[in-house]
Structure 1
Amino acid sequence: MMKVIFSILLFLSGFIYAQKSIVDTLSEFNYSQLKGKFDDYYDNDKVSESKIIAQYYLQKANKEKNNLQIAEGYILIHFNEDFPTALKYIDSLEIITKNIKGSLYPTRTYLMKGNLYFKNDYLKKALDNYIIALQYAKDQKDQKQIAYANINIAYLNNYLGKYAEAAKIFRYYLYNPNNITNESQHNQIRVSLINCYIELNKLDSANILIKEGQTSAFTGKSKYSVNQYLYFSGYSNLKQKKYTIAINELAKTYNFFSSINDNNANYALYSLGKCYNGLNNKEKAVEYFIRLDSNIQKTNITFPELREVYTYLIDYYKEKNDKEKQLYYIDRFLKVDKKLDEQFQYLSTEMPKKYDTPNLLQEKEEIINDLKNRKIILYASIGFLLLILLLVLYLYYKAKKTAKEHRKIAQELIHSIEKRNFESTTDIKKEIPELSQISEHAETENIITKTAPEEVTQFILKELEIFENKQLFLKSGITLASLAKNIKTNTSYLSETINNHKGKNFTSYLNDLRIDYVLERLVKDKKFRSYKLPAIAEEIGYNNVQAFATAFKKKTGTTPSIYIKEIETQQ
């Protein structure tokens, strides 16, 4: 025990001495050398040492009243601070650089602020700051800052799942650095391109870059980079279903990233859960997904794959018949989904408007300038743009017309249901003659020739009447085989009876019962209407909202969202 205590004291005294030694030697270096040392410590996860250098850097700049270097000091210091403190330093950066001439500021301030927001999952603010930075860079014609803005926006596209668009930017600057990116930035671009390649299933290209990055990381002795590439090696093996190899690599990266409270730990947990699910070890997968959810609650930093995590947990506890945990993860899903939806909706709307469209317009202007003496090509370009405009207008009016038709169908459905006495679900079908008749006519073309004995047929019909009256069709997981087993007959007789007496196949029969039910209940039950579509789908027996929406559209000719909206409008 004394030996352990002595070792700890020796370590602490050595650490204190190291700090003092760093401070004593810093006065020997100029700003460029201090910046190089900061990068070296920061890239190698030596947080305390990098903090000391950043503080000394700012202290030296303040003493010399050098505003440009004071600004650099604020930037260095903010890297190791929590979000609120880091944001204050960036705000100070904006103030101190207000009167600095040249093309570096204010572009750099907005880039730094955008990066800070991105790191802390404020994607809307990140995009807004990147767009402002890009505009300043373009105004100043600073190609280096334009490149940084484009690269940072590519990171957002990567996050959004626009991997092809992001890969195009990353690939260009990876192989055409043009003195724009330093070693650290070059490494991050390579890491992001690897992610794009894996998601695009270009695993050979990804693995080449992984090996290249691992060689570079080992040479530079950066533990962080080593673990980044180890993670992507694990992720690549996951995609190739080499689960055992992937688990070994991902577990190591999780241990490292969790030890430094880095958000990459959450991606490692997600991938580990996927691996164990691939091995059909649901308990182990759930263990990692629960741990991931716990981390997300602490940081509130989300990523799109979380939707898959929560639906997995919901389905798992549904199978276990654990209502409490099922309800808990439904609530977690809804909260995370709401945040993701808000961010994705904003980014998917604003990215084309503020970034893609201006870029396209700029490209168009450059083309026109380059081809001003080539009238034929110029006219062709204008004609092409007009065609695009006409196509957009056509699609717009077509969408409006479709929406109007859907609303009309919904209104007719609501009107017919309100007039009805709600005596049976089969009445709804009669009030939708055109769609139902066409659908049923198509299905009855394949009616099976009657082979079941009459007494068997009558028995099945009575059981189906009970099935309908007791609304047993609302249970999830119903199949032809399971229903046949429940009513003690075989699938052939059951299928034949439904085809001959219901005029449709089993799938249509089940879907029609559920949709007829939901049509009435949505009109009558205000609380039911307030449910999210996934909850409504689950309530009436569907495993996912897509299956429900498809069945609803096929049966009625409109969508659940429009139908609910029309009910709310009329009531």
Structure 2
Amino acid sequence: MYSQGEILKMPDSLEEKSYKYLNDRFLENRNDTLMATLYLNTIVAKGIVNDDKIAKSHALVRLSSYAVNDKEKLDYIQQSIAESNSVDSLYSIPSYNSLGLYYQANYDYEKALEEYVRVLKLSITRGVENYEIIALDNIAEIKQEIGQYKEALDLYRKGFYLEQNKEDKNPILILGSSLSLSESFRHNKQYDSASYYYASVIDDVRQKYPTKLSKALINEGINLYHKNEYKEAKILLQEGMVHVNFNSHFDVKYYILANYYTGKMLQVSSDKKAEQYFLKVHALLLKHNATIPELKDVYTTLINAYKETGDQKKQLYFQDRLIYFNEVIAARNLKVSNKINTEFDTPKLLKKRDKLIKSLRTKNEYLNTVKIILSVLLVVMLIVLSVLYIKHKKQKKRFKQILKEIDNQEQPQKTKSTSASSQKLNIDPQLVEDILERLQVFESKKGFIKNTITIAILAKKLSTNTKYLSKIINAYKGKTFITYINDLRIEYVLKELQMNPKLQQYTLYGIAKEIGFNSADSFSTAFKKKTGISPSYYMKNLKNIKKEKVAL
């Protein structure tokens, strides 16, 4: 297990592999705990060596899902948050969400809600739509678990339509939102709607997302029970139980529900095996320290069963369990309801109240305000449009200039006189010429794209010292060592992006890593400094050129 300050040893076979390679291998082997943790720990080790806190954070939060106990899981998540927060809280959003899931799995709904609200606020502030939807779904799930079914459905719907209205729809989020909507409609006794959303995604679940199969099948099985379609319900419940992952708190919950509703169907037909299922549900609730409001009937049923047989000892035991069950639910609901009111619902209501107050202004006041605002907006818009137009013209001109420069790169470049410059540097002219030739080899072999390159490492490779190397680069390249390396990387990626359409599909962070930068920000800064335009603008225009050629 990783701990702060610990240096993990990378396997020799993976030492030179890129983050992308390691991440792809992890995704391929995510169901194999041994292989998955190997690749994740290698990313952590690589992140330590490169001081890449974001890579470490993402790997640590993923490692938390393979933790063997709650303490280890929490340690991983908290370390992940510490790493990403030291760079920017934006990168901590997935870790805060995992922390919320951890608390929810342990029925600490108050702390879970606190983390989900944090994720929601950060996502809205920083424009991370995917996690805004995830946060809404998670808050809705807590509302659902404390019996606020209508409010939960409203939130699930909001998340679903937010995703549907996005340009770059995420199929996994749509699938997850559809299953959550199906379950929520079931709790609101809208059984046909529940079946509709189940049917819309079940084929995809079976073919592409088997980890969600237990939830999908069991929920629809329960839905069919309520529609009195017992035969079909039993088939789905039994199949759903086969696919349960017992390492997942959420899957275990559905497994318990599947046993409960199987017992309910046997009870309808007066089958004595029903009692065995209810006893099994009770045992599962004890084992997993779970309290699911939907299962309250388990205890009333068992109390009545032992009342009929005259077993007062068991009758008393299950009466005590029912009292405890009710007390836990009541305390939890009260605590979480207060939290929801103060941190989630109340601010929303205050916002509505403010809108109402504004709408009650007199007509004249309203019209005057609108006129002033529109006038100001018109002036601002004209200024902004003018600035944007000038900026666009400059960027377009610079983009065309860059393409011409790339076309002319093959032409021989004039170099400064070695002897004349070396005299000013007080360095032997022959040594200067040797170092310049070695630098040429270094450039031709693209040694600059390694993120480990430093002036000390390069000086050693060129059989010189850092002082001479720095002076020669300043004199003959006209720039500092760092600017020299960064400019080489940018010159390389400008041509590579033009020639390699696959590279255009990478994120800025992915491109940065491919050419030796440690972050998207440092890459963007160096790119803009060298070219005068942003990398995203450059790539967008390259794609437009390609579209124009295809159209012709």
Q: Same fold (TM over 0.5)?
A: yes
Aligned to 1:305, what secondary structure does the other structure show?
Answer: helix
Residue 183 (structure 2) aligns with: 195
Residue 494 (structure 2) aligns with: none
Determine which of 313, 327, 349 is the counterpart of 1:324: 313
Residue 279 (structure 1) aligns with: 269
Q: Quick check: 1:174 aligned with 2:163?
A: no
Determine which of 267, 274, 281 is the counterpart of 2:257: 267
Structure-2 change in CA distance of 1:218 and 1:137 (3 Å): closer
How far is 1:274 from its partner?
1.7
CA deviation string 1:181-207 (max 9, x = no partner):
744333222211110111222222221
Aligned partner letter, 1:274: K
Q: Quick check: 1:254 aligned with 2:241?
A: yes
TM-score (normalised: structure 1): 0.56
How far is 1:244 from its partner?
2.5
Distance across 1 between alignment mates of 2:363 and 2:91: 38
Structure-2 change in CA distance of 1:40 and 1:374 (3 Å): farther
Q: Quick check: 1:124 aligned with 2:121?
A: no
Aligned partner letter, 2:347: P
Structure-2 change in CA distance of 1:275 and 1:27 (3 Å): farther
Determine which of 73, 77, 87 is the counterpart of 2:59: 73
Structure-2 change in CA distance of 1:193 and 1:46 (3 Å): farther
How far is 1:139 from its partner?
5.1
How far is 1:35 from its partner?
4.2
How far is 1:233 from its partner?
2.5
CA deviation string 1:380-415 (max 9, x = no partner):
xxxxxxxxxxxxxxxxxxxxxxxxxxxxxxxxxxxx
Distance across 2 between alignment mates of 1:114 and 1:266: 22
How far is 1:368 from its partner?
6.0
Distance across 1 between alignment mates of 2:246 and 2:90: 40
Residue 490 (structure 2) aligns with: none
How far is 1:356 from its partner?
0.5
Distance across 2 between alignment mates of 1:248 and 1:198: 18
How far is 1:101 from its partner?
2.7
Structure-2 change in CA distance of 1:309 and 1:260 (3 Å): same
Identity %: 23
Determine which of 276, 281, 300 is the counterpart of 1:311: 300
Determine which of 16, 27, 49 is the counterpart of 1:63: 49
How far is 1:148 from its partner?
3.3
Q: Is the contact made by 1:258 and 1:265 (CA closer than 8 Å) also made in structure 2? A: no
Aligned to 2:90, what secondary structure does the other structure show?
Answer: coil
Distance across 2 between alignment mates of 1:138 and 1:211: 31
CA deviation string 1:249-268 (max 9, x = no partner):
21222233266564121121
Q: How does 1:456-467 map to 2 (within 5 A)?
A: none
Residue 151 (structure 1) aligns with: 137
TM-score (normalised: structure 2): 0.57
CA deviation string 1:227-286 (max 9, x = no partner):
3322123112111112232122212222332665641211211221222122232x2222
Determine which of 199, 206, 212 is the counterpart of 1:218: 206
Q: Quick check: 1:288 aligned with 2:274?
A: no
Q: Is the contact made by 2:84 and 2:91 (CA closer than 8 Å) also made in structure 1? A: no
Q: Quick check: 1:113 aligned with 2:99?
A: yes
How far is 1:226 from its partner?
2.8
Distance across 1 between alignment mates of 2:212 and 2:123: 30
Residue 99 (structure 1) aligns with: 86
Structure-2 change in CA distance of 1:226 and 1:258 (3 Å): closer
Distance across 2 between alignment mates of 1:298 and 1:59: 37
Q: Is the contact made by 1:243 and 1:279 (CA closer than 8 Å) also made in structure 2? A: no
Q: How does 1:4-19 map to 2 (within 5 A)?
A: none
Distance across 1 between alignment mates of 2:339 and 2:83: 30
Structure-2 change in CA distance of 1:329 and 1:102 (3 Å): closer
Structure-2 change in CA distance of 1:285 and 1:180 (3 Å): farther
Distance across 2 between alignment mates of 1:313 and 1:180: 51
Residue 362 (structure 1) aligns with: 351
Aligned to 1:79, what secondary structure does the other structure show?
Answer: helix
Residue 455 (structure 1) aligns with: none
Corresponding residue pairs, total:
351
How far is 1:344 from its partner?
0.8
Aligned partner letter, 1:280: S
Residue 83 (structure 1) aligns with: 70
Determine which of 340, 345, 351 is the counterpart of 2:334: 345
Q: Is the contact made by 1:234 and 1:246 (CA closer than 8 Å) also made in structure 2? A: yes
How far is 1:114 from its partner?
1.0
Distance across 1 between alignment mates of 2:210 and 2:130: 29
Q: Is the contact made by 2:182 and 2:196 (CA closer than 8 Å) also made in structure 1? A: no
Structure-2 change in CA distance of 1:137 and 1:172 (3 Å): closer
Q: Is the contact made by 2:136 and 2:156 (CA closer than 8 Å) also made in structure 1? A: no
Structure-2 change in CA distance of 1:369 and 1:26 (3 Å): farther
Residue 52 (structure 1) aligns with: 38
Residue 196 (structure 2) aligns with: 208
Q: Is the contact made by 2:26 and 2:39 (CA closer than 8 Å) also made in structure 1? A: yes
Q: Where in structure 1 are there 5+ consecutive unaligned residues?
A: 1-22, 379-571
Aligned partner letter, 1:124: E
Aligned partner letter, 1:187: L
Q: Is the contact made by 1:207 and 1:233 (CA closer than 8 Å) also made in structure 2? A: yes
Q: Is the contact made by 1:371 and 1:377 (CA closer than 8 Å) also made in structure 2? A: no
Aligned to 1:276, what secondary structure does the other structure show?
Answer: helix
Distance across 1 between alignment mates of 2:159 and 2:25: 25
Distance across 1 between alignment mates of 2:147 and 2:24: 34
CA deviation string 1:460-519 (max 9, x = no partner):
xxxxxxxxxxxxxxxxxxxxxxxxxxxxxxxxxxxxxxxxxxxxxxxxxxxxxxxxxxxx
Q: Where in structure 2 are there 5+ consecutive unaligned residues?
A: 1-10, 368-552
Distance across 1 between alignment mates of 2:86 and 2:345: 31
CA deviation string 1:321-348 (max 9, x = no partner):
1112112212222223222222111112
Distance across 2 between alignment mates of 1:365 and 1:77: 45
Deviates more, 1:243-252 or 1:256-265: 256-265
Distance across 2 between alignment mates of 1:375 and 1:346: 46
Structure-2 change in CA distance of 1:83 and 1:98 (3 Å): same
Aligned partner letter, 1:252: E
Distance across 1 between alignment mates of 2:120 and 2:276: 43
Residue 233 (structure 1) aligns with: 220
Structure-2 change in CA distance of 1:53 and 1:295 (3 Å): farther
Structure-2 change in CA distance of 1:96 and 1:362 (3 Å): same
Structure-2 change in CA distance of 1:25 and 1:286 (3 Å): farther
How far is 1:141 from its partner?
5.9
Distance across 2 between alignment mates of 1:294 and 1:123: 23
